[in-house]
């Protein structure tokens, strides 16, 4: 079975983002970039499925400028077989990315699509569900366990009230949550070998993206900063302040 995996290049999760002084956008110049952590989990899960003999081929896809090849190379060092870069210099929203993936699903005919549940830049949590809707596939978001059965999968989802397990006919779209696995690090020899694996670069214009630009970002601002308060010396002082100063406990 072939697995299609999405990979997004985002700000490194340890880096605090800066807002541009003119409030038009965030400032990512000279910022450390990395693979979105949830995409790392998706790549790891695909590699484990290949190690178990369930997956036969892993195709990783990223939509973006040439630099996203860094993240595609990393995914191939971790175990993906080949990569597709859908090239564009423009910012693309989750709807456009979902349309690209829907077309790739039709071309590549994967048995499973694995995506991160959200990217830590736009924090949308949309692409997998949009893709599943467009492609007429079942979806299991917030996955913390995937088990293969005959012709279907069972996926455990982390939902607000606890855990939920769904059965899905294949092909299906699964989006990864934090506790699905712990991604491995790439080994140097694998990084060297990944340079020989193929990246198929295709312009975004080759895809039938019909989504109109309905969204316009008018402003991006820094959030209101919270002031640090005071240090208290004892539990008694804390309780006193909470009762008599903040008035939050009786």
Question: Which residues ranging from 124 to 153 are in contact with another protein (CB under 8 A)?
Answer: 124-134, 136-142, 144
Smallest distance from another protein to CB 170, Å: 10
Among 159, 200, 201, 206, binds another protein (CB under 8 A): 159
Q: Decide if residue 168 touches another protein (CB under 8 A).
A: yes
Within positions 29 to 88, which residues make up the interface with another protein, using CB under 8 A?
A: none
Within positions 175 to 194, which residues make up the interface with another protein, using CB under 8 A?
A: 177-179
Smallest distance from another protein to CB 139, Å: 6
Q: Which is nearer to another protein, 119 or 194 (CB)?
A: 119
Q: Phi and psi at residue 7, in whole multiples of 5°?
A: -135, 130
User: DSSP class of residue 86?
Assistant: E
191 sits in the region (left: phi over 0; alpha: psi -120 to 50; else beta) called alpha
Smallest distance from another protein to CB 232, Å: 5
Within positions 209 to 238, which residues make up the interface with another protein, using CB under 8 A?
A: 210-212, 214-223, 226, 228-232, 234-236, 238
Q: Decide if residue 91 touches another protein (CB under 8 A).
A: no
Distance CA 104, CA 66 (A): 19
State the DSSP H helix or E strand holding residue 136, giving kind and residue range, or none if neither.
none
Within positions 99 to 128, which residues make up the interface with another protein, using CB under 8 A?
A: 99, 117-118, 120-128
Neighbouring C-beta atoms of residue 192, cutoff 10 Å: 10
Only one residue has tokens 């999968």, namely 153
Q: Decide if residue 204 touches another protein (CB under 8 A).
A: no
Neighbouring C-beta atoms of residue 144, cutoff 10 Å: 16
Helix 37-51 vs helix 69-78: crossing angle, to nearest 10: 30
């Amino acid at each position: 079975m072939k697995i299609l995996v999405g990979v997004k290049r985002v700000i490194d999760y340890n880096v605090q983002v800066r807002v541009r002084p003119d409030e038009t956008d965030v400032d990512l110049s000279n910022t450390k970039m990395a693979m979105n952590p949830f995409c790392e989990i998706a790549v790891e899960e695909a590699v484990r499925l290949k190690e178990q003999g369930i997956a036969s081929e892993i195709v990783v896809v990223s939509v973006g400028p040439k630099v996203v090849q860094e993240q595609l190379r990393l995914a191939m060092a971790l175990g993906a077989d080949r990569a597709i870069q859908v090239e564009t210099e423009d910012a693309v929203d989750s709807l456009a990315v979902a349309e690209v993936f829907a077309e790739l699903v039709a071309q590549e005919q994967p048995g499973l699509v694995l995506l991160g549940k959200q990217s830590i830049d736009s924090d949308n949590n949309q692409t997998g569900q949009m893709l599943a809707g467009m492609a007429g596939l079942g979806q299991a978001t917030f996955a913390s366990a995937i088990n293969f059965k005959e012709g279907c999968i069972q996926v455990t989802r982390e939902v607000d009230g606890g855990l939920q397990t769904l059965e899905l006919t294949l092909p299906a779209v699964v989006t990864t949550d934090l506790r699905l696995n712990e991604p491995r690090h790439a080994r140097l020899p694998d990084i060297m070998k990944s340079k020989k694996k193929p990246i198929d670069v295709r312009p975004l214009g080759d895809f039938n993206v019909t989504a109109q630009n309905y969204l316009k970002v008018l402003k991006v601002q820094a959030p209101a900063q919270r002031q640090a308060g005071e240090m208290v010396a004892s539990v008694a002082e804390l309780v006193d302040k909470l009762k008599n100063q903040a008035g939050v406990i009786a």
